[in-house]
Chains A and B, each alone.
Chain A
Amino acid sequence: MYYAGIDIGSLSTETVIIDDNEKSIAYNIFPTGANSKIAAQKSFNLSLELAGISPDNLQYIVATGYGRISVPFASKMVTEITCHGRGAYHLFPGTRTIIDIGGQDSKVIKLEDSGKVIDFAMNDKCAAGTGRFLEVMARAMEIDLEEMGPMSLKSEEEISISSMCTVFAESEVISLVAQARPKEDIINGIHNAICSRISAMMERIGMEPEVSMTGGVAKNSGIVAKIKQRAGGKINVPDEPQIVGALGAALIARDIANRE
C-alpha cells in the first residue's frame, strides 16, 4: 500500500507519496495560488499520476500546512511543526534542531532522541523573516528569488536593514537601491535581518546539534551559509527541502495506518 502527505503552504503546495518501506515514490511542488483547495487537489492528482497509482492504492492521507483544513479527502490533519519534525528526523536521524522557513512563517523545532517534538518557537504574527519577506525584497530589487543566494555570497560590505516590518524594510531597500549601493550588499543585509530573527528563536528553544534546515528558503545558499555559521559550522540541508513537511505527513500517515 501507499501513503500520501500533502502540505498546503501559503505559497506552494507539495504532495509526497511513499510506499510501505518509507521510500518516496513521487512528489511534486505546485503553486498554491488563490484557492488552496484546488491547489491541494491538483498537487494530489499530479502525484498519483507520477506514481502511477490510483487513489484506491492509498491507505492513509495526512494533510498539513496552513491549508490543511482545505483537503476534504485527507484522513487526518496534523500541524506542520509535527510533520517537519518527522520528515527531517527521517532524512537525518541525528537531527535535534530543525529550522523551517516557509512562505508565511518561520519556526525552530527541537526534537528529543526518539524524534519526538519537545519544543518549538514560531515567528510572531508578522511576515518578517519568512519566504514572503524575501519575495517582496527580490521584487523591490527587480531580481529573481533564485539569484539572491549566490549574489549575497559576493557581498563585500555589511549593510544593516533595521526595519522589522516587511513594508518598511521594502522602502528601506528601495532607498538603498536609489543610493546605488551594490545589490549584493543589500541582499546580504536582508539575509542578516532574517537570520538574526531565526537566531533568536534558536536560542530561545536551546539549539542542539545536529541542525537541519527545511522549507523553501533552505534553497537560498546565502541564508543557509549564515545559519550554518550560527549553528556551529554544520547544517543538514535535504536535496529538496521544500517537501520535508509533506514527506513527514506521508510518514505519519504510514505510522497511523500501521497502528490502526
Chain B
Amino acid sequence: MSMLETYFAQLEEGLKKKLERKTTARRKFIYEISRIGGKMFDDNLSSAWTTVFVPFEILNAMGVAGNFIEFVGAMMAGAGIGRQYLEKAEAAGYSTDSCAYHRTIVGAALEGIMPEPDLLIGASCPCDGGIKVLKRIGEIYKKDVFVINTPYEYTPESLDYLVNQFKAMIDFIKERTGRDIDFDLLRQSIRNNNKAREYLVEALELCKNVPSPASSNDWKNFIMFVLLAGSEPAIEVARIYRDEFKEKVGKGLAGLADEKYRLLWIQNRIQFKNNLINILESKFGANVVIDELNYIYWEPMDEEGDPLRALAIRQITHPIIGNIDRRLDVLAMLGREYKCHGAINPAHWGCRQSGGARYMFKEALREVDVPVIHLDVDCVDERNFSEGQIITRLEAFMEML
C-alpha cells in the first residue's frame, strides 16, 4: 500500500470511529472526502486527475474516480507533507513563484507517490495554469489531456458549446477506458444535487443568524464538496449540516462563544497548519461566518431535461467565471447579508486568476461598509509564509475594525 493510500485509509478509519462516538457535520464531511481520496486506489474504477471545475457527476456516471489536483495539493499541505514535493517540482524547473497547489502535484507525480491516472481532464476556467500542469503530468504518464473549454460569458450559444464540450469529454473517456455513460445514474445525480442544494441553502441561511451557529472552521475548504456532487453521501452531509445548525440556532448556541466580529473569507483558506484562525477567534472573538466559495450560486437544476445542459448551466454561471461584476455583486451581497464587519482575502502567491481584481474586491465591499485586508500569502507553501508578518497585518486589521 502506498504512503498516500495508507494516509487516506487511516484518515477514513479514524473518522469512522469518531463518527461512531458522535456525528458532527464537519466530521461527516471530511470522512466522505477521505473516502473519495481512497477511491483513487480502487482497481474497479478508472481514475482521473482533473482541475477543480469539472462535472464530477459525469465521471461518476462513467465509473471514473475523479480528484482535482488542487485538492491533492491542499491535502498534502494540511498533512504537513507537501514540502518535499514542492522541492521536487522546483528541482524539475518550476519557479517558486508559480502556484504551489500545482507544484505539489507535479512533485508528487515525479516522486511516483500518486496512483497512475487513466485520464487527465481540465477546465479552462477559473485557472488555466492547472491545464498546463496536467499537460506536464500527461508527459510523465504518457496520457492525453482533455480540456473543457469553458466559455467566458453565458449566452444560448455558449451554453450549447459547453454541452458539446461535455459530450466530447464523454467520448474521450469512453475511448480511453471503454466505459460508457449511465444516463439514468446521471439523472439521479441531478436529483441528488437538488436535494443536497436545498439542505445547504438552508444551512448557510442559518449562518446569517447573529451569532452564527458555525465556527470559522466548520465550513473550511467546503469547496471540496464538489467531489461528492450528485451522490447520496452529499445529501447526507448537507442534511447533517442543516440539522446541526438548526438545532444550535433553536437552542441559542453559538459556533463561536462570544462572537464579536463576523468575517467574510474571500477565495481559498490557508491549507497548512497555522495560527491565524485561532488568533482571530480567541483574541478577537472574530468568526468567519461565510466563505465566498461556499455560496450556493446555482438555481435548482432541471430534473426533466438534458442533464448535460443542467450541468453546463451550473458550470457557466459560477461567479468566479466570466465578467468580474457578477463576482463583485456576490461578494457585496455576502458581506451585507451575513452582517460582516470585515473581509479577509489571502491572495495566494502565484495565483493569477483573481489578482487583477484585488482593488475591485476592496471597492465593492467598501460600498457595503465591509473593509478588506489582502494578505499576501502562499496558501500551500509554508516555506513562503512568515507567520509573524501576517499576524501583524491581521491583528492591525482587527484593531482597525
Spot the interface stretch: A76-84, A139-147, A190-198: A76-84
Minimum CB–CB distance for B284 against chain A, Å: 12
Let me know if A125 and B386 touch, CB within 8 A.
yes
User: B388 at interface (Cβ–Cβ under 8 A)?
Assistant: yes
Docked complex: B56-74 residues within 8 A CB-CB of A: none
Let me know if A82 and B386 touch, CB within 8 A.
no
Q: Cβ of A118: which chain B residues have Cβ within 8 Å of it? A: 371, 400
Let me know if A66 and B399 touch, CB within 8 A.
no
Let me know if B388 and A117 touch, CB within 8 A.
no
Residues 93-135 of chain A: 1 if any B CB is under 8 Å from the residue's CB, otherwise 0?
0000000000001000000000011111010110000000000
Docked complex: A13-29 residues within 8 A CB-CB of B: none
Q: How many A-B residue pairs have CB under 8 A?
A: 35
User: B376 at interface (Cβ–Cβ under 8 A)?
Assistant: yes
Let me know if A66 and B371 touch, CB within 8 A.
no
Q: Which range holds the interface residue count of chain A? A: 10 to 19
Minimum CB–CB distance for B88 against chain A, Å: 24
Q: Which residue of A lies closest to B376 (CB)?
A: A124
Choose among A105, A116, A120 the residue that contacts B389 (Cβ–Cβ < 8 A). Answer: A105
User: B2 at interface (Cβ–Cβ under 8 A)?
Assistant: no
User: B16 at interface (Cβ–Cβ under 8 A)?
Assistant: no
Minimum CB–CB distance for B81 against chain A, Å: 24
Let me know if A78 and B393 touch, CB within 8 A.
no
Measured between alpha carbons, how far is A9 from B188 in the docked complex, in Å? 61
Let me know if B396 and A117 touch, CB within 8 A.
yes
- Given the known inter-chain contacts A66-B388, A125-B386, A125-B389, please indicate yes or no for A79 contacting B371, CB distance below 8 A: no
Measured between alpha carbons, how far is A119 from B392 in the docked complex, in Å? 14
Choose among B376, B384, B386, B396 the residue that contacts A79 (Cβ–Cβ < 8 A). Answer: B396
Choose among B384, B388, B393, B395 the residue that contacts A122 (Cβ–Cβ < 8 A). Answer: B393
Let me know if B396 and A66 touch, CB within 8 A.
no
- Given the known inter-chain contacts A66-B388, A119-B371, A122-B393, please indicate yes or no for A78 contacting B400, CB distance below 8 A: no
Let me know if B376 and A120 touch, CB within 8 A.
no
Measured between alpha carbons, how far is A120 from B376 in the docked complex, in Å? 14
Minimum CB–CB distance for A127 against chain B, Å: 11
Q: Cβ of B393: which chain A residues have Cβ within 8 Å of it? A: 122
Docked complex: B278-314 residues within 8 A CB-CB of A: none
Minimum CB–CB distance for A161 against chain B, Å: 22
Let me know if B396 and A81 touch, CB within 8 A.
yes
Minimum CB–CB distance for A253 against chain B, Å: 14
Measured between alpha carbons, how far is A82 from B389 in the docked complex, in Å? 15
Choose among B384, B386, B399 the residue that contacts A117 (Cβ–Cβ < 8 A). Answer: B399
Minimum CB–CB distance for A183 against chain B, Å: 32
Q: Cβ of A80: which chain B residues have Cβ within 8 Å of it? A: 392, 396
Docked complex: B351-401 residues within 8 A CB-CB of A: 371, 376, 384, 386, 388-389, 392-393, 395-396, 399-400
Q: Cβ of B376: which chain A residues have Cβ within 8 Å of it? A: 124-125
Minimum CB–CB distance for B166 against chain A, Å: 41
Q: Cβ of A120: which chain B residues have Cβ within 8 Å of it? A: 396, 400
Let me know if A82 and B388 touch, CB within 8 A.
no
Q: Which residue of A lies closest to B398 (CB)?
A: A79
Minimum CB–CB distance for B263 against chain A, Å: 17
Residues 213-245 of chain B: 1 if any A CB is under 8 Å from the residue's CB, otherwise 0?
000000000000000000000000000000000
Q: Which residue of B lies closest to A117 (CB)?
A: B400
Closest 5 CB pairs of A and B: A81-B396, A79-B396, A82-B399, A117-B400, A79-B395
Given pairs A81-B392, A105-B389, A124-B376, 12 additional interface contacts (CB within 8 A): A66-B389, A66-B392, A79-B395, A80-B396, A81-B396, A117-B396, A117-B399, A117-B400, A118-B371, A119-B400, A122-B393, A125-B376
**Can you name 14 A-B pairs with beta carbons within 8 Å?**
A78-B399, A79-B396, A81-B392, A81-B396, A82-B396, A82-B400, A105-B389, A116-B400, A117-B396, A118-B371, A119-B400, A122-B392, A122-B393, A124-B376
A contact residues vs B (CB 8 Å cutoff): 66, 78-82, 105, 116-120, 122, 124-125
